[in-house]
Copies of this chain bind each other. A is one copy, B any other.
Amino acid sequence: MAHQEKATSGVEWRITLGDGSSKSLVPEAGFVSRIWMGLKGLLAGLVLKVSKFLKKAWDLGVDDPRKVIHCLKVGTALAVVSLFYFMRPLYEGVGGNAMWAIMTVVVVFENTVGATISKSLNRVFGTTLAGFLAFGVHWVASQSGQEFEPLIIGAAVFLLASAATFSRFIPSVKARFDYGALIFILTFSLVTVSGYRVDKLFNMAHQRMSTIIIGTSLCILVTMLICPIWAGQELHNLISRNMDKLANALDGCVEEYFDHNGELKDSNKQPDKKLLGYKCVLSSKSTEESLINFARWEPAHGRFNFKHPWQQYLKVGASMRSCAYCIEALNSCIVSENQAPELIKKHLSNICLKVSSNSSSVVKEVAKTIKTMKKSSSIDFLVEEMSNTVQDLQNELKSLSNVLSPPEVLLAESKETKETTSTIHLLEVIPAVTLASLLIEISSRIQAIVETVEELANLAEFKAEVHDKAKQDQPNITRIAPCQLNDDQTLRPALERV
């Protein structure tokens, strides 16, 4: 028995085989087939992982085909520059410096036109500046004799590399000239350290500069001519798209809270996604900043001239985010367990929905202003309407105090009224009141958005909407009206019922 146990711990399957056919089920698989099973499992896992990765990549490509186009553009540019230097006669002409053209294309080619131009110019000017400085240092070092040469070169590299690295920490330099500083350090070190004589250096510098200029020109041409992606246009679209998302989220949140149509609970998925659109606004700050930095390098394109006030988009984005913070807080009211009683909800639902739909139509109008780059003729009217409904909401809240106080119960006569109202405390109203006051805050932040966009419209000299077009748009605004659901006539009965 002891022997058997000992053996079991060692080579289990042989012992079990000898024990009887009933126990030999597992070992019957055998050593080879076990390994085979293991390998199969491993392979299946690998295939699954790879296919998952490929699926993700495919989805990414389908989701934004411009990414695929960008890749093909990079491939084209590289293939062209590679073949250009692969042809022997040309290759001999520029010598080993051919690699600088290829390197330039690989490093400089970016997704947007602005980023590519920014990197190209940074590369050209960084190289030029560093080259001239390095010539000077190189000449001084070579004049000062064998002994001091390494000392001077080491000190120069140390000092200038340190200074250039430090400049990359300064925000204004980092935003626009980060890559230039890097290239400056690189070129300066390479030229200073190179063992060539100064006259040979000039020859090399000439070749190198020409290859870099060929590389950057090719990049700029390809990025601007084949399906160009302008950082400015992207920024413009991002802002107006985010504004639409903000409007939809605001509408969706308030509707969800009052669950107005009873429809939302059935189709849970679609509104959820719409509802969380404001999160895009919260997280798009860094994207906006980098797009603004790139947009400033771009020439006039489409509807944007060279002096387009890109910096103003920063303010528009900030005002949108400040609004999105409030929607976040609003959203927490919705998911909160502490819900207001139905009676209060009913009392406030109409006016709150009206405020939210008016506010969101202001945001949508502002988004349209940005999209079309035309000053809206109806924005003042919409803002006034929003302010009026906010005033109505405040009045409604005032009248709410008549509904809820317990002492009123003492004055009430009918038993029915007592049953409905006696249960309502201030504590129970709080969620609804919080929602209402957040809505009021949101509407004031929306006014800030309107102001920043008006400033943008003035700076960028947006044209006024043509009058005919304004008339065409009018139905658009009244189309929103049905969402507002009711005017004062339908509101009154609800109030009186309470």
- Cβ of A466 under 8 Å from chain B: no
Bound Cα distance A440, B185 (Å): 54
A186's partner among B56, B106, B166 (CB-CB below 8 A) is: B106
Bound Cα distance A42, B272 (Å): 59
| Number of chain A interface residues as a range | 35 or more
Bound Cα distance A328, B154 (Å): 52
Residues 332-348 of chain A, each 1 if its beta carbon lies under 8 Å from chain B, else 0: 10001000000000000
A60's partner among B56, B170, B328, B405 (CB-CB below 8 A) is: B170
Residues 153-165 of chain A, each 1 if its beta carbon lies under 8 Å from chain B, else 0: 1110111011101
A83 touching B150, Cβ below 8 Å? yes
A283's partner among B70, B150, B285, B445 (CB-CB below 8 A) is: B285
Q: For residue A410, which residues in chain B have a CB less than 8 angstroms away from its CB? A: 407, 411
B441 touching A158, Cβ below 8 Å? no
A427's partner among B60, B326, B394 (CB-CB below 8 A) is: B394
A165's partner among B75, B190, B193 (CB-CB below 8 A) is: B75
Bound Cα distance A289, B92 (Å): 47
Which of A117-125, A222-230, A254-262, A396-404 makes up part of the contact surface?
A396-404
Task: Give the secondary structure class of A's interface.
Answer: helix
Residues 81-101 of chain A, each 1 if its beta carbon lies under 8 Å from chain B, else 0: 011011110010000101100
A78's partner among B74, B150, B158 (CB-CB below 8 A) is: B158
Closest to A321 in B: B282
B398 touching A425, Cβ below 8 Å? yes
Within 8 A of B (CB), among A60-85: 60-61, 67-68, 70-72, 74-76, 78-79, 82-83, 85
A186 touching B102, Cβ below 8 Å? yes
A189's partner among B102, B163, B167 (CB-CB below 8 A) is: B102
A79's partner among B161, B170, B401, B427 (CB-CB below 8 A) is: B161
Bound Cα distance A103, B68 (Å): 30
- Cβ of A30 under 8 Å from chain B: no
A86's partner among B150, B286, B322 (CB-CB below 8 A) is: B150
B401 touching A404, Cβ below 8 Å? yes
Can you tell how many copies of this chain the complex includes? Answer: 2
A162 touching B72, Cβ below 8 Å? yes
Within 8 A of B (CB), among A385-424: 394, 397-398, 400-402, 404-408, 410-411
Within 8 A of B (CB), among A138-182: 150, 153-155, 157-159, 161-163, 165-167, 169-170, 182
A161 touching B193, Cβ below 8 Å? no
Bound Cα distance A394, B402 (Å): 21
- Cβ of A470 under 8 Å from chain B: no
B190 touching A103, Cβ below 8 Å? yes
Bound Cα distance A91, B195 (Å): 8
Given contacts A329-B438, A430-B436, A434-B438, 19 further A-B contacts (CB under 8 A): A60-B169, A61-B166, A74-B161, A75-B161, A76-B158, A78-B161, A79-B155, A79-B158, A82-B154, A82-B189, A83-B150, A85-B193, A86-B150, A86-B153, A107-B186, A329-B441, A398-B427, A401-B425, A410-B411
* Residue ranges of A at the interface with B (Cβ–Cβ < 8 Å): 53, 56-57, 60-61, 67-68, 70-72, 74-76, 78-79, 82-83, 85-88, 91, 96, 98-99, 102-103, 106-107, 150, 153-155, 157-159, 161-163, 165-167, 169-170, 182, 185-186, 189-190, 192-195, 282-283, 285-286, 322, 325-326, 328-329, 332, 336, 394, 397-398, 400-402, 404-408, 410-411, 425-427, 429-431, 433-434, 436-438, 441, 445
Q: Which 9 A-B pairs have the closest CB atoms?
A: A405-B405, A401-B426, A75-B162, A329-B329, A75-B158, A79-B158, A325-B328, A71-B162, A71-B166
- Sample of 11 A–B contacts (CB below 8 Å): A57-B170, A74-B162, A75-B159, A78-B157, A78-B158, A99-B190, A106-B161, A397-B427, A405-B408, A407-B411, A434-B438
